[in-house]
């Protein structure tokens, strides 16, 4: 199901699709691309909440925003959702920011490996990487035809290191990182920029409502690094990174000169110890 909010866009730019939009990072990324003149498609499971986010972004940025329901654990839902996305026009940007909200890292409590239900593990892997695989497959042909495009995957510290008690998260994030690396090497010659963004820390609420002027460059709700997206949790009172500032990094990757593309970067607050 898809809901259209806002006035029509005549910028001539393509569509920016953000999969996994909650009130933090996903929302900020969508808002940044809308601010820069893109028609934005935002996707998540809760269409009611998503529609409210779309209305807010459309009102603030005077942009066209489409709210599209997606269940990243269901391949049919992913395909149907992207039929709607592709019907809007050329998808120039794909940001995959979803995670499985009911797994152990969403509650910020480790789960013993022997106590993880198979169905929960399977769903977590499906959301972390299978759906990312399907989303990328839907948009890459159009990007190849146009000779340009950006695909950004949100990772976390668990993309790099196994963490005791968080097998679901780590296995999915390891696989997502591998997918990103493979796509970057396969499609960079076609003008498609693929990058993996490691959010190494807690994402808090936006601290400011103002976004820098157009063109300026200046959702990881848990210490182990889960993104907002299919669901969000609380950060246990820990002061987090500003999602609006993080969104500027996603924009920077999109507009980066192709003569020196970044394929992976990690972001952390300045008070983090290595």
Strands of the sheet with 2-5, listed across from one edge = 2-5, 65-69, 39-44, 15-19, 91-96, 149-156, 192-199, 264-267
Helices (H), 106-154: 118-125, 131-146
Closest C-alpha to 219, from 194, 197, 252, 251: 197
Residue 135 to residue 207: CA distance in whole angstroms: 31
Residue 136 to residue 183: CA distance in whole angstroms: 9
The pLDDT confidence band at residue 202, using thresholds 50, 70 and 90, is confident
Closest C-alpha to 228, from 44, 79, 80: 44
Query: Is the per-residue pLDDT at 244 higher than 60?
Result: yes
Residue 149, SS3 per DSSP: strand
The pLDDT confidence band at residue 8, using thresholds 50, 70 and 90, is low
The pLDDT confidence band at residue 109, using thresholds 50, 70 and 90, is confident
Mean pLDDT over 166-180 rounds to: 95
Q: Tell me the pTM.
A: 0.87
Mean pLDDT over 112-141 rounds to: 95
- Give the model confidence (pLDDT) of 40-83 as tens digits: 999 999 999 999 999 999 999 999 999 999 999 999 999 999 99
Residue 57 to residue 35: CA distance in whole angstroms: 9
Mean pLDDT over 147-170 rounds to: 94
Residue 104 to residue 232: CA distance in whole angstroms: 12
Mean pLDDT over 215-228 rounds to: 37
Residue 132 to residue 149: CA distance in whole angstroms: 16
Give domain limits for the chain.
15-109+119-205+240-267
Cα–Cα distances in Å, from 40 out to 57, 153, 211, 249, 274?
A: 10, 17, 17, 17, 36
The mean predicted confidence, pLDDT, of the chain is 86
Instruction: Supply the CATH classification number for the domain 15-109+119-205+240-267.
Output: 3.40.50.720
Residue 102 to residue 124: CA distance in whole angstroms: 9
| Sign of the dihedral defined by the CA atoms of residues 140, 151, 67, 60, in that order | negative
pLDDT at 231: 38
Helix axes 25-35, 47-61, angle to 10 degrees: 40
Residue 249 to residue 247: CA distance in whole angstroms: 5
- Six token digits for residue 222: 């848990």
Residue 103 to residue 121: CA distance in whole angstroms: 8
């Amino acid at each position: 199901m898809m809901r259209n909010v806002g006035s029509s866009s005549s910028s001539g730019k393509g569509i920016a699709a953000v999969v996994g939009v909650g009130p933090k990072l996903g929302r900020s990324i969508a808002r940044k691309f809308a601010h820069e003149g893109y028609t934005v498609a935002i996707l998540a499971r809760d269409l009611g909440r998503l529609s409210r986010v779309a209305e807010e972004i459309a009102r603030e940025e005077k942009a066209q925003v489409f709210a599209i329901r997606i269940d990243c654990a269901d391949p049919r839902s992913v395909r149907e959702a992207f039929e709607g996305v592709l019907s809007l026009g050329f998808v120039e940007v794909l940001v995959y920011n979803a995670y499985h909200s009911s797994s152990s890292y969403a509650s910020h409590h480790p789960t013993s490996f022997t106590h993880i239900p198979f169905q929960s593990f399977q769903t977590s892997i499906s959301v972390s990487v299978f759906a990312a695989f399907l989303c990328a497959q839907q948009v890459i042909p159009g990007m190849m035809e146009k000779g340009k495009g950006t695909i950004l995957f949100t990772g976390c510290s668990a993309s790099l290191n196994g963490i005791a008690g968080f097998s679901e998260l780590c296995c999915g994030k390891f696989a997502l990182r591998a997918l990103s690396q493979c796509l970057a090497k396969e499609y960079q010659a076609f003008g498609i920029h693929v990058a993996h963004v490691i959010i190494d820390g807690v994402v808090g609420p936006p601290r400011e409502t103002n976004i820098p002027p157009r063109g300026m460059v200046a959702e990881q709700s848990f210490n182990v690094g889960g993104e907002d997206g299919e669901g969000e949790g609380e950060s246990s009172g820990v002061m987090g990174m500003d999602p609006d500032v993080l969104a500027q990094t996603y924009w920077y990757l999109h507009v980066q000169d192709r003569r020196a593309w970044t394929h992976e970067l990690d972001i952390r607050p300045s008070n983090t110890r290595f």
